[in-house]
C-alpha cells in the first residue's frame, strides 16, 4: 500500500512535465507572427489548392470578395468547368452564408461576395459529375496577408520551421 502512495506523486510529476515539453516544442515551431505553416503549393491565380479532389481545384478570393473556383488538369493547368457543381458555406456558424456558382470565363464565380470578416470557417463541396461522389473540404478562410510569402493566409506557401 505504501508503494502505491509513493508512486502517485512520482506519476503526477512526470505527467506535468510532458505538457510543458510539448508546449515548448510548439512554441519553437511557431513563426514570429504566432502560427505555423505547412508547405503548400499555390494555384495559378495565387489561391489555395484543394488537393482532396483529383485533379486539383483552386480556391481563390477575388478583390471584390467573391470566390473563384478554377479546375485544373493533371499538370495543374486551368481547364474550363463543364458539369461540376460547387457550393461554399461560410461565415458565422449561427447565420452561415451559402455561395452558389456560375460559369464565368473559364472558371466558376460565386453569385455573392463573402460576408464581412477576415477569418471565416468555410466548407467547400464539389461534385465533379452529376451523380458523382461529393467531395468536401473544410478550412478556416483567413484573408489576412502572410508577412513572409505575401499570399493571403488561406493560401500561404511558407515552409514549416
- CATH value of 48-155 in 1.10.3470, 2.60.40, 1.10.10, 2.60.120: 2.60.40
Backbone φ and ψ of 41, nearest 5° = -90, 150
Are 70 and 80 a contacting pair, CB within 8 Å?
no
State pLDDT tens for residues 101-112.
999 999 999 999
Pairwise CA distance, residues 136 & 16, whole Å: 39
**Other CB atoms within 10 A of residue 96 CB:** 15
pLDDT of residue 39: 54
Percent of the chain residues past pLDDT 70, beyond the cut: 73
Cell of 24: 515548448
pLDDT of residue 20: 39
Report mean pLDDT in 10-residue bins for the chain, 161 residues: 49 41 36 47 90 92 97 94 95 93 96 95 94 94 91 82 26
Does the global pTM surpass 0.75? Answer: no
142, containing H or E segment: strand 134-142
pLDDT of residue 8: 46
Domain boundaries, the chain: 1-30, 48-155
Residues in the chain: 161
CA distances from 144 to 32, 127, 155, 161 (A): 15, 29, 10, 20
State pLDDT tens for residues 4-37.
545 444 444 434 434 433 333 333 333 444 444 4
pLDDT of residue 56: 93
pLDDT of residue 54: 86
Amino acid at each position: 500500500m505504501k508503494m502505491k502512495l509513493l508512486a502517485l506523486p512520482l506519476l503526477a510529476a512526470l505527467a506535468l512535465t510532458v505538457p510543458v515539453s510539448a508546449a515548448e516544442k510548439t512554441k519553437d515551431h511557431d513563426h514570429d507572427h504566432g502560427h505555423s505553416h505547412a508547405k503548400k503549393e499555390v494555384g495559378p491565380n495565387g489561391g489555395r489548392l484543394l488537393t482532396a479532389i483529383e485533379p486539383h481545384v483552386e480556391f481563390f478570393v477575388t478583390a471584390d470578395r467573391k470566390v473563384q473556383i478554377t479546375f485544373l488538369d493533371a499538370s495543374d493547368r486551368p481547364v474550363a468547368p463543364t458539369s461540376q457543381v460547387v457550393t461554399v458555406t461560410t461565415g458565422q456558424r449561427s447565420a452561415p452564408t451559402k455561395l452558389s456558382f456560375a460559369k464565368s470565363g473559364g472558371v466558376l464565380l460565386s453569385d455573392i461576395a463573402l460576408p464581412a470578416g477576415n477569418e471565416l470557417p468555410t466548407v467547400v463541396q464539389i461534385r465533379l459529375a452529376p451523380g458523382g461522389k461529393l467531395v468536401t473540404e473544410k478550412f478556416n478562410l483567413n484573408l489576412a496577408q502572410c508577412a513572409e510569402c505575401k499570399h493571403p493566409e488561406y493560401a500561404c506557401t511558407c515552409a514549416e520551421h
